[in-house]
Copies of this chain bind each other. A is one copy, B any other.
């Protein structure tokens, strides 16, 4: 079937008794059009039910009104509700400014990968990166003039706008809490250590140890990948190599839950014999048995901050990096 026929500028112009250029000026907020003519245009739009064709506008203006939100991972990340929540924060801010979100969940890869190709295609007016294993693509796109925001502190000292959560502070207070609860041997299950967030959380854990006058052995530091399964795998290994382990800080809630599953199945009660803290404060943290002590980050605010930084750039305004605080939420598991 033929697509629905909808009025164009030509019809609006004829109805209002003006030119198409005037219609364009009025609908795009040009204040120089005589108020009486402008009102005639608005009346015609109302009467005829006109809607702008965004495809034609994008071709003519060179701007699509789309902002890419890039998650350097695969679609299984959506089993972690963090991503839906943070994305909703970004989308709300962009939508308030007449922009739309294009969500890209794929490995960012090299300069000739799928994500790079898409971002260079001119289809988006800017890009917000959520997970980064390397700054190579980001630096390349910045040189080409694409407005960018990244979440997480950049690897290099490039002048890239970013928002972040206080990873170091959150991990530090989680580890301090475990120690204050009497834990003598505390392990960490990190995220992918290629990301700055995982590094900063590890640094917070190490700083808490330095301040208590101890240093954890290398086998207490496990590199996970934020997945439930990696939490389980490392918990298993920790029990084998450290039977006297009495505390674990996992760098996200999913890995914390994986660890708890293993400990409980091994007959080690949580928090009776071993205490566990996570990071994020996802719903899974609240509903688990035992409910999870965790470092809460304001995920909606993180998304909104990223969106606001993008809007500021597109409007040619000044901006500063934004670091959001964390809060340790004490529940049953520690």
A175 at interface by CB-CB < 8 Å: no
Per a CB cutoff under 8 Å, which of B51, B85, B91, B290 touches A121? B51
A117 at interface by CB-CB < 8 Å: yes
B78 touches A287 (CB 8 A): no
Measured CB to CB, the nearest residue on chain B to A74 is B88
Measured CB to CB, the nearest residue on chain B to A145 is B1
B284 touches A264 (CB 8 A): no
Residues of B within 8 A of A276 (CB): none
**Given contact pairs A78-B81, A120-B4, A228 touches B145 in the complex (Cβ within 8 A):** no
A122 at interface by CB-CB < 8 Å: yes
Contact with B along A65-80 (1 / 0, CB 8 A): 0000000000111110
Measured CB to CB, the nearest residue on chain B to A290 is B289
A158 at interface by CB-CB < 8 Å: no
Per a CB cutoff under 8 Å, which of B77, B144, B289 touches A289? B289
Q: Choose, from A54-62, A199-207, A241-249, the stretch at the interface.
A: A54-62
B84 touches A75 (CB 8 A): yes
**In the complex, A258 Cα to B286 Cα: how many Å?**
10
Q: Can you sample 8 A-B contacts with CB below 8 Å?
A: A56-B59, A75-B84, A79-B283, A81-B81, A228-B283, A261-B287, A288-B288, A289-B289
Residues of A within 8 A of B (CB): 1-4, 6, 51, 53-56, 58-59, 62, 64, 75-79, 81, 83-85, 87-88, 91, 103, 117, 120-123, 144-145, 228, 257-258, 261, 264, 283-284, 287-290
